[in-house]
Every structure is written in C-alpha cells, then in structure tokens.
Amino acid sequence: MALSVVDLYKNALPKTNCKECGFPTCLAFASMVVSEKHPLKNCPYIKTEIIKTCQKELDEQHAEGKWTKKDMAQDALLWAKKRAASMEIKDLPERIGGEIINIEDGSALRLPYFEDFVLIKKESVTNIQGTALNRWEQVFIFNHIAQGGKRDPTGNWKSLQEFPNTISKIKSMHSHVEQPLIKKFAGDIQKLIEASKSLGGIDVTDKYSSSDIAFYFKVFPKIPVLLMFWDVDDSFDAEVKFLFDETIVEHLDIESILFLSERLRQLLCGES
C-alpha cells in the first residue's frame, strides 16, 4: 500500500519536530520523503525496522511516480525524443540544415546554433565539445527535428499572438521573457546591444526604425528571431518584442517556441 505524507508522519516518524533532519517539522520531512525522494534514514530517531519496511513501499511508489513531484523538464525531453525517434540523422541536413560528420560512435548532425554549433545524435544533443545542452534546449531541438518542416524563412515576421493557439502562452512570454529583459536592460540599452552582438546578433535597427534597437538572430539555419526593444523615456515604459518568421510553426510547436525564447532571454541576460 502506498504511503502518503500523512501515513508516513502518523505511523513512522517520531513527531518530535527536533529539526535534526534539517527540516522544521516531522510533517515537512515526511513531505520531502514522499514527494522529493528524500532519504527516510535522515531521521535520526526512526527505528531501523521501520526504515526497512517503509523504504520498500516508498521505492515502489517512487518507481510508479505516485505522489512524487513531477520533473517537467525530464518529461518534456522524453516526449520530444519519442517524437523524433523515427527521424534519420542522415535525412536532417536537407530539412533543417547543417552537415553530417563522423564521430567516434557513429555520425552526428553538426547544426549551427547562434554563433556556435550543436551535435545532434539519436539520443542526445551536445555542444561541439561533447557537453550535453540543458534539457529545455534539447527539448526544442528534438522537437525541431520531429516537426517535419523544411521551408526556408520568408522574412514575414509575426509576434507570438499572431499564431494560432497561443492565447495561453502570451502571459508566459511576458513574464518569463519580456519582463526579465526589460528589468535587465531598461535604461541601459548599450548593454543589450553588446549582449546581442556577443550572440551573433545582427544589428538591423536601420530596417526597423520604429524601435530603439532591432537585432536579427539566426538561432538555427531555418529559425531566425527578431528582437525589437524600446527603451524607457519620460513618456513610455520600456518594451520588448520577439518576432518570428511565419514559417516557424512548421519547424517548432508553440511550446518549443516559448522554450527557445526563454533560452534566448537567458543568454542575453548572461544566465547559464
């Protein structure tokens, strides 16, 4: 029978709230054991026989994912890999760009990514040195592989809300992408210019003079992003917009467009 937080607290823990486990109460400790797989043995006063009995139950329910806190990044990555599983590496250059190269354990797609490259294999995406990209980056790259698009950008730019089924994502774009950029660069537009250039951004302000600055990023060969920024002044608050080529929905699902936008924001802000 699965152990809930209350079950563990009532039937296994000493209920002394001694804090020696590192948590303020026995109930808080129970919650971490059940939802975060915190070691039950870290309670200094629980009996050995109770640990043995309860740990078996806990291991079984953790394996089933019962009451555990969801690892959203891992779940998304497994889903993206499953979507891309049928794609052959050798077929990718024609669709999304890059080139096939030989590596020690086979072949990989060497795909331009900002000013650098990534290596795409069946089960992993790494930088050119072989270090795995973070899981959200891998998610939108595997989804790029799986989406099936192959059209080149047309140069017709759209904001996120101009694409279908994005209403629920507008708030996330504002809070996780636009607001942090405004907080970081409002009143210091030169820093944004420098950060954009460091990522290989091309200054296209002369073509989009309605904004204070505009930068073109070639994230992948067929996925460009346009950043437009209006700095704060006496009459208006700062504003930022990411625009996408109209073909992006052929290369990424809407969720992955948001993941990519968040990653670009992180890189501009100097976050790992």
Return mean pLDDT, the chain: 92
Nearest one of 135, 116, 112 to 124, comparing CA atoms: 135
DSSP assignment of 146-164 equals HH---PPP-S-EEEGGGST
Read off the pLDDT of residues 210-251 as tens digits, 9 standing for 90 and up: 999 999 999 999 999 999 999 999 889 999 999 999 999 999
Name the DSSP letter for residue 69: P
Name the nearest CA neighbour of 170 among 66, 91, 241. 241
pLDDT-derived band at 206, boundaries 50, 70, 90: very high
Torsion, CA 193, CA 195, CA 197, CA 202, rounded to 10: -60
The CATH classification of domain 5-64, taken from the options 3.40.50.300, 2.40.50.140, 1.10.357.10, 1.10.15.40: 1.10.15.40
Count of other CB atoms within 10 angstroms of residue 91 = 12
Return d(Cα 223, Cα 251) in angstroms, integer: 8
Q: How far apart are CA 74 and CA 138, in angstroms?
A: 10
> Are the C-beta atoms of 21 and 44 separated by less than 8 Å?
yes
C-alpha 168/C-alpha 160 separation (Å) is: 11
Rounded Cα–Cα distance for residues 221 and 140 (Å)? 14
Q: What is the pLDDT of residue 70?
A: 65
Phi and psi dihedrals of 266, rounded to 5?
-60, -45
CATH 1.10.15.40 residue spans of the chain: 5-64
Query: Which residue type is seen at 244?
Result: F
| Residue 25 predicted with pLDDT over 90 | no
User: Which residue's entry shows tokens 């073509």?
Assistant: 207
Q: What are phi and psi of 135, to 5 degrees?
A: -65, -35
The identity of residue 106, as a single letter, is G
| 48-65 residue pLDDT tens | 999 988 988 888 888 777
User: Model pTM?
Assistant: 0.77
Residues 6+ away with beta carbon under 8 Å from 19: none
Q: How high is the pLDDT of residue 172?
A: 93
CA-CA distance, 47 to 156, in Å (whole number)? 67
- Closest by CA to 227, choosing from 246, 210, 244, is 244
CB atoms within 10 A of CB 138: 23
Task: Count Cβ neighbours within 10 Å for each residue of 36-71 and write b for 16 or more, e otherwise.
Answer: eebebeebeebeeebbeebbeebeebbeeeeeeeee
Q: What is the pLDDT of residue 67?
A: 65
CA distance 8 to 30: 6
How many Å separate Cα 53 from the centre of its chain?
A: 38
Q: Which residue has the tokens 């994502």?
A: 169
> pLDDT of 109-123, one tens digit each?
999 999 999 999 988
55-105 pLDDT, tens digit each: 888 888 887 777 666 667 878 898 999 999 999 999 999 999 999 999 887
